[in-house]
Amino acid sequence: MQVLRDVLYRLLPRPQPSGTMARDRQGAAKRLLILSRYPNPTVSYYLDERAKLAELPVIMKSLDDSLDAIDSDGLFVVICRYIKPPQLRWLEERRESLAGVAYFVDDDIRAVVTGREASWLYKFRLMTLAVRPLPRVNRLLTHIWVSTEALSRTLATAGQEIDILNPLPAHPANVPVNTVIEDVTPLKMVYHATGVHRHEHEFLMPIVKAAMERHDNLLFEVFASGALARCWNRLGIDPARITIVAPLSWPAYLARTTHENADIALVPLLPGKTNASRADTKRVDITRLQAAAIFSQCPTFARCAVAGELHISNTVEDWSAAIDQLVNDRECRLAARDATRYSIDRMREQATPTFPGVRFYPAVTQHDVAIL
């Protein structure tokens, strides 16, 4: 079965310019159009801040929005992961007047589609919105932007130029912080991840169950649905101490994690083709939760690591010991919480604030962002 998955992985299309819209034919941009399944975490992590800093007007459109009122002359278009046929036809009909088209992706979508973890519904959505349109999208592309060096290596073909668009979150100063942390019980520990991280859920289940048995003052919250939710339920953890939350929309998740903080956040990342290309954007969620995080020791989270964070091997013993340390040592919790907050500064320092390769029209100087 794995051989078949590997064959399918190689057969699925990848983003690569294949038509006449090459970089050397790119015009100067008068305005920027971002097409996305808006709102979503990819836009929040990578595009929102850059749009605010852009040297030209920025228009954001969701996938079902009409583009008919937009002037295509000198328009630079960013396709963020997905596109639907009506918007794709609109771009094809106006390709000669466009200043350029970039495709931005922050996941190895082919690995998700051919992997074992994602649900069939999610895979169908990826095939419909991301994979199936790619041959037509490729004929429009002047630029490809990806989130990590690892993803660039995965997608690149001979002679192909791919730009890295590192995460650029909002400055931590814009995130309110509890400056006084009372030493009270119980402590809230969370694991917030989608069903795409099924292996991580399964890895954590016995670790969390044992930790809950060792620490009576520990509450646990996990995001899960379907079979994963049933597995968490069957662990036998006291129902009064575990909360299983169905996956939320992005706006609902932002609101929840802004107003409901946590003490400890579990952030495992196991080896695998999909995880190898991931960025460390989970740091942003941890900072918003104001939690002390336990990270898997891996290249993804090593990128912006700072002293005081906990980065550990993916063993039951190490994860159990790290949980015990954070539960029992308040000062360690606060140090880890603050360290991840500082890591956001490092993340911002490593990110260029511009959209790579976009040539600006000289007359455009306004910083105007419109969500229409």
- Tokens 């009506």 label which residue? 86
Quickly list H helices, 260-296: 273-276, 282-289
Nearest to 50 by CA among 362, 42, 363: 42
Parallel, antiparallel, or unpaired for β 143-146 and 100-105?
parallel
- As to burial, measured by CB atoms within 10 angstroms (0-12 exposed, 13-18 middle, 19+ buried), residue 119 is middle
pLDDT at 167: 96
Give whole-number Cα distances, 266 to 13, 192, 260, in Å. 34, 8, 16
What residue type is assigned to position 207 of the chain? Answer: I
pLDDT > 80? residue 367 = no
Q: Name the pLDDT band for 156 (thresholds 50, 70, 90).
A: confident
Secondary structure string (H, E, C) spanning 229-242: HHHHHCCCCCCCCE
Q: Could you please report the per-residue DSSP string of 34-77?
A: EEESSS-HHIIIIIHHHHHH-SS-EEEEETTS--TTS--TTEEE
pLDDT score of 228 more than 50:
yes
Q: What pLDDT score does 83 carry?
A: 97
pLDDT at 365: 45
The reported pLDDT for the residue numbered 157 is: 81
Each residue's pLDDT tens digit, 245-279: 999 999 999 999 999 999 999 999 999 999 999 99
Tens digit of each residue's pLDDT (9 = 90 or more) over 331-354: 999 999 999 999 999 999 999 999
**Amino acid 105: pLDDT:** 97
Torsion from C-alpha of 125, 128, 130, 132, nearest 10 degrees: 150
Predicted pLDDT at 5: 85
Cα–Cα dist 256/128, whole Å: 30
Query: Which neighbouring-strand residues pair with 295?
Result: 267, 311
Q: How many residues does the chain have?
A: 372
pTM: 0.90
* 348-359 per-position pLDDT tens digit: 999 999 999 888
Burial of 259 (0-12, 13-18, 19+ CB in 10 A): exposed
Q: Are 222 and 244 in contact (CB under 8 A)?
A: yes
Considering only residues 330 and 2, tell me which one the structure prediction assigns the higher pLDDT. 330
CA pair distance 309, 323, nearest whole angstrom: 13
Distance of alpha carbon 167 from alpha carbon 247, whole angstroms: 23
Model pLDDT for residues 28-66, shown as the tens digit of each residue:
899 999 999 888 999 999 999 999 998 889 999 999 999
Asked if 207 and 319 touch (Cβ cutoff 8 Å), the reply is: yes
Is residue 320 a contact partner of residue 210, using CB atoms and an 8 Å limit? yes
CB 174 within 8 A of CB 287: no
* C-alpha distance from residue 232 to each of 119, 143, 207, 219, 321 (Å): 17, 43, 12, 14, 21
